[in-house]
Structure 1
Amino acid sequence: MSRIRSVASSALGVNRRTLLAATGAVSLSAGVGYALRPTDSQAATTHPATAAAAADEAPLAASGKAWALPLAPYTRGTTLATLASPRGTGGYRRLGDGPGWKRVVRDDLATPKSGRTNRRTALAAFVQLTDLHLIDSQHPLRLEYLRSTDVHAWRPQEALTVPGAVSLVERVNALRGGPVTGSPLHFAMTTGDNTDNNAKSELDWFLKVMSGGRITPNTGDPRQYEGVQNSGVKQYWQPDDAVRDADKQLGFPHVEGFLAAAIRELRSPGLNIPWYSTVGNHDSMPLGCYASHGDNYLTEYAVGGKKLMNLPASEAKKLQDAIKNAKDPKGVAFRDLLKAQARSMRSVTPDESRAPYTPAEYIRAHLDPAHRGHGPVGHGYSTANLDAGTQYYSFRIADDVIGISLDTTDAGGHYEGSIGSGQLKWLDKTLRDNKDSYAIVFSHHTSKTMDNTRRDPARPNERRVGGAEVVALLASHRNVLAWVNGHIHKNVITPHSAPDGRSFWEISTASHVDFPQLARIIEVVDNKDGTLSLFTTLIESSAPHRTDFTDLSQPGLAALYRELSFNAPGARTDLAGDRNDRNTELVLKKD
């Protein structure tokens, strides 16, 4: 693959040098991440007139922390050095400092050559955040009552997702570039499920966490929490109450003032580098599974003054099975269940901010100047996306690397994904038109969880495409290096190869709502020996590993968020993946 190319002649169509000169922006070597025309991305539309009209709106988004030269490699602040580890055995276990995870060299797709450490040059470095699941824990549509049939259905840490996410932003801001190369971080990418209930309240919190601002993670009564954790229902942890609920019987603590602290205003500094956004199923559909936009009953229930907090196990099992098996993708049976349980509901304070948001409202919120932070405008999304009704786009990461963000959510309902045939054609064209640039592809769903091919109600005649077909397409392009995603809440790194020797890595990263609550740094380097390497390094939030139940400060809540997630009844113990899925060097042949 030739490294000499004209950006102006690519399908993404921008002359980088002209833009740099016009804006006075610093060079990429000084830590700039920039979008190629985020307001008229070729991802957004197939209408040239629309794209041309928006062409003059493109900014360059510069990192808020730029270095003139690469820094020295480091491990501090990453899981290479240390990570939260449990103390003791049985019952509620406290966390403390534990040994880090060593880096593993993976040669599944190419043989690493000696001496590459001294030859390599950095091409790009960025951070992936995924499955933040910012939760309005008092929202009427929450399904906490499924816990009567499945202990996994509600997490004791759910009221602390905002301070936990702020602590992750603080960790990213403290990073000294890429830990392997010292290269400045070009950007951060969220790979979906940024919110949990598809609620406007959560979307506002997410955008303020990422771009900076004051957040009050409370809806309903501004004076107090109203939800399952002060309901007296013993299947939920009642932190402020001395009642021996089911979780306290397992050793969960009594934490006086917990709920007041959980809904207290806090401030996010916002990321000090540009950030981009990819959409997930929880961002697209109520509860991440119901194609129920426009259902007046569910909308009115979401913003109204009643909330179901308890459900018999037999009824909960029926609802859970319907969700898992996609028997009710439009939420009709769910609506009927809520109506049948009307007399069992409790009164809460109504709140319009709990209303579900549409895909168009999701994009408009990203385009709001109040949420620009360090840019770029729209965080990848554009006015052309609004015109075309799409949520996918492309952008330039560095001179020789482009990024592609897909929309793998299926608007027909269910939490598994797919893409439309039109998006597949666009992906193929974008890769062909930029064949002289390496490509990193981002999505929410993994290749194995793209098996939901329900038709999009807005495009009923369009075929839906599953993960196997996307893998085949990506493997047919020599410039694809990686497909970076989330959704499964687990670290998994998978090699993909085609018979002709073309190959790429699929990098799936654990969530930030379930333990071990991680994000991932990815560095792309040219080894100058016919191979490339992708270095992956996992990071935790900046919260201390040890908790103090009397410390309800912002860092204290973030630390408690992590510890509660470890101790959540039924919490999976395999989400960190094995050593080959964590801190790695992934070697590839270079064409």
Structure 2
Amino acid sequence: MTGTEPAATLNRRRLLLASGAAVAAGAAGTTGAFLPGGRRPPATSDAPGHPDTRAPAPRDPAGRQSRAVRRPTPYGTTTLETTARLGGAAGPGSYRRLVPGPGWPLTVRTELAAAGNGRQDRRTPLACFVQFTDLHLTDVQNPLRTEFLRSRGASAWRAQEALTVAGAVAMVEQVNALGPGPHTGLPPAFVMTTGDNVDNNSVIELEWFLTLMSGGPITPNSGDPAAYEGVQNSGLPLYWHPDDAALRDLDKRRGLPLVPGFLEAATRTVSSPGLRVPWYSTVGNHDDLPGGCLSPALHDIAVGSRKLLSVPDADAAAYARALRTGDDPRSEVLTSVLRRHAASARTVTPDERRRPFTPHDYLAAHLDPAHTGAGPRGHGYTEDHLDGERMYYSFRVAENVVGVSIDTTYRGGHYEGSLGSEQLRWLERTLAAHSSRSYDADGRLVRRPGADDAHILVFSHHHSAGMTRRPDAAPTDEPRHDGAEVVALLSRFPNVVAWINGHSHVNRITPHGHATPARSFWEVNTASHVDYPHHARLIELADNGDGTISLFTTLIESAAPHRTAPGFDDLSAVGLASLYRELAYNAPGLAAGMPGGVQESWAGTAGDRNTELLLGITR
């Protein structure tokens, strides 16, 4: 996290990132349900083909408003046109409905290069794609989830968690509906996910994610196929019980509604149309470790029959302290808590599909032809990655544009990120292969006449501030490298345009190296699809013909309507996807903060949302 983030947000975000208190879900619905009138977007016949995959051997910016070229898309819209806003007055115990609000204008950021007059007329489009991040598709009934931490604060558990599948399908529908990018006129050529695609590192969640992206039915339920066995019908007032009119739980007291039939609807099958464009995958800590930070050795608990819903305050405090310090990589504190209170845990139906998956499992599942969808097979990974379980690669984004996906996760049991020395060396070699000149560690210019010069986009899950050199508990002596070291490496290569990532659940765009234009690039950190504000990014790259390039970042929301049904009686996939977003906007500590305050910081400032990021290319 950065030092500019408010303390309240910092504490909640650390708790959520560390504890795995995030999402799961589903809903009834049919393919194409989220577009107006049930329409499906036409297939894009002029979209670029699959990029060639190649296996490897805030700040308050000084931006200014600009007249953006706003070309409304045929069906989908972006936040240039409209954004979801909370309606009504805030107050204790109030639940506020979502309404459509005005869009956010384009902000031109010139910290790294000046904006030349007339560049719009000289512009050559280079690339257009979409970033997904932090979907956190979650089996909320998994016995490894630690919802009991809510006793230490209402924000440690999300009321919207049972609806992530419906919400994610609505985001896929929106991408399928997007027309040409508003600034380049290019259609999106692919989607890149930047990690935390699932929440609990379980096989069933991975199946949901791959089906979401490639197309097919998803039944967001586990354990007993005919019953829900999670916290929301436990009878504990600590959690929102949407179906129980008699229980005056914590969330109803602060205004959350009664929604009869909610849990049955949330566990019904929903069909994903799958993305109509190729997609690529980057791994996050929740994809690599149960809950994003727990030991895979907890397999027996994950597939077992005891789910702990509440613990004494002392035990909750001990586990929260272990998460905060990161000094329990083998999850011994949690194991002790779970075993000590097993007798008081809820009995649930065991399910082998909840078992944690290994890196090899993750790679093999991506390579399964059943999950190829719009391609490419493996979604960045190849058969060669199975040897050694490497989860990083490079690929061709467009002509003269290269993407590099890196694996920033600790496999030793912590939510913060890092790179091992072997991968850092691979990254340096990959950057060098596409840069005819660079700088060595001492700042001396190095020329490579035979290198294939290309603009370079780097993708990862963790942002630079979320990467530390915490000792790795994995069985290796390999040194680890933090975010500052990655920034230093990227700054040595003038061809690097941007480092695009997630993890923070915040929209934030950071200039790096502005004191030395030849060694500068942008870091684009995007908020999650599980928390407010539920954003993905449409990213476009263009050559301005004047020695600069522009990287455009345009936030998009899902295809679900802003308004939910007046009486909360629409339990279709459409209705649940709208409710998913509305519940997130009403999260504890957030609803009272918009506009301004904590909630606004998650969405970022104007310079972190819809932007034109200038960068020199003759540096």
TM-score range, shorter chain: 0.7 to 0.9
* Matching of residues 265-304 of structure 1 within 5 Å: 265-290=269-294, 292-293=295-296, 295=297, 298-304=298-304
The corresponding residue for 1:539 is 556
Q: How far apart are the structure 2 equivalents of 1:359 and 1:494?
A: 31
2:492 to 464, 471, 476: 476
Gaps of 5+ in 2: 1-43, 58-68, 436-452, 591-597
Amino acid corresponding to residue 223 of structure 2 in structure 1: G
The corresponding residue for 2:399 is 399
Q: How far apart are the structure 1 equivalents of 2:485 and 2:255?
A: 48
The corresponding residue for 1:152 is 155
Cα displacement string for residues 174-233 of structure 1 (whole angstroms, at most 9, x for unaligned residues): 000212111021110000000001111110000011010000000011011111000010
The corresponding residue for 2:242 is 239
The corresponding residue for 1:449 is 466
CA contact (8 A) 1:484 1:507 kept: yes
CA contact (8 A) 1:146 1:313 kept: no
Identity between Structure 1 and Structure 2 (%): 57
SS of the equivalent of 2:378 reads: helix
SS of the equivalent of 1:532 reads: strand
Cα displacement string for residues 86-121 of structure 1 (whole angstroms, at most 9, x for unaligned residues): 011221111111111111000010000000011101
The corresponding residue for 1:514 is 531
Q: How far apart are the structure 1 equivalents of 2:158 and 2:254?
A: 14
SS of the equivalent of 1:388 reads: coil
CA contact (8 A) 1:199 1:355 kept: yes
SS of the equivalent of 1:177 reads: coil
Could you say if the C-alpha distance between residues 33 and 481 of structure 1 is closer, same or farther in structure 2, counting changes exceeding 3 Å? farther
SS of the equivalent of 1:171 reads: helix
Could you say if the C-alpha distance between residues 354 and 191 of structure 1 is closer, same or farther in structure 2, counting changes exceeding 3 Å? same
The corresponding residue for 2:261 is 257
1:37 positional shift: 4.1
Amino acid corresponding to residue 315 of structure 1 in structure 2: D
Could you say if the C-alpha distance between residues 129 and 500 of structure 1 is closer, same or farther in structure 2, counting changes exceeding 3 Å? closer
The corresponding residue for 2:610 is 583
Could you say if the C-alpha distance between residues 223 and 394 of structure 1 is closer, same or farther in structure 2, counting changes exceeding 3 Å? same
Could you say if the C-alpha distance between residues 584 and 29 of structure 1 is closer, same or farther in structure 2, counting changes exceeding 3 Å? farther
1:234 positional shift: 0.2
Amino acid corresponding to residue 226 of structure 2 in structure 1: R
SS of the equivalent of 1:409 reads: coil
The corresponding residue for 2:507 is 491
Could you say if the C-alpha distance between residues 169 and 92 of structure 1 is closer, same or farther in structure 2, counting changes exceeding 3 Å? same
1:463 positional shift: 1.0
User: How many residues are matched?
Assistant: 530
1:184 aligns with 2:201: no
SS of the equivalent of 2:387 reads: helix
CA contact (8 A) 1:34 1:395 kept: no
Q: How far apart are the structure 2 equivalents of 1:282 and 1:113?
A: 43
1:457 positional shift: 2.2
SS of the equivalent of 2:522 reads: strand
Of the structure 1 ranges 336-345 and 510-519, higher mean CA displacement relative to structure 2 is found in: 336-345
Q: How far apart are the structure 2 equivalents of 1:536 and 1:512?
A: 16
Of the structure 1 ranges 337-346 and 265-274, higher mean CA displacement relative to structure 2 is found in: 337-346
Q: How far apart are the structure 1 equivalents of 2:362 and 2:51?
A: 19
1:116 to 119, 124, 132: 119
Amino acid corresponding to residue 280 of structure 1 in structure 2: G
The corresponding residue for 1:553 is 572
1:72 positional shift: 8.6
Amino acid corresponding to residue 383 of structure 1 in structure 2: E
Amino acid corresponding to residue 103 of structure 2 in structure 1: G
The corresponding residue for 2:338 is 338
1:312 positional shift: 2.2
1:343 positional shift: 1.4
Q: How far apart are the structure 2 equivalents of 1:527 and 1:187?
A: 23
Gaps of 5+ in 1: 1-27, 47-70
The corresponding residue for 1:7 is none
CA contact (8 A) 1:218 1:225 kept: yes
Q: How far apart are the structure 2 equivalents of 1:550 and 1:500?
A: 56
1:208 aligns with 2:224: no
Amino acid corresponding to residue 279 of structure 1 in structure 2: V
SS of the equivalent of 1:523 reads: strand
TM-score by length of 2: 0.84
1:29 positional shift: 10
* Matching of residues 312-323 of structure 1 within 5 Å: 312-323=312-323
Of the structure 1 ranges 437-446 and 29-38, higher mean CA displacement relative to structure 2 is found in: 29-38
CA contact (8 A) 2:329 2:473 kept: no
SS of the equivalent of 1:546 reads: coil
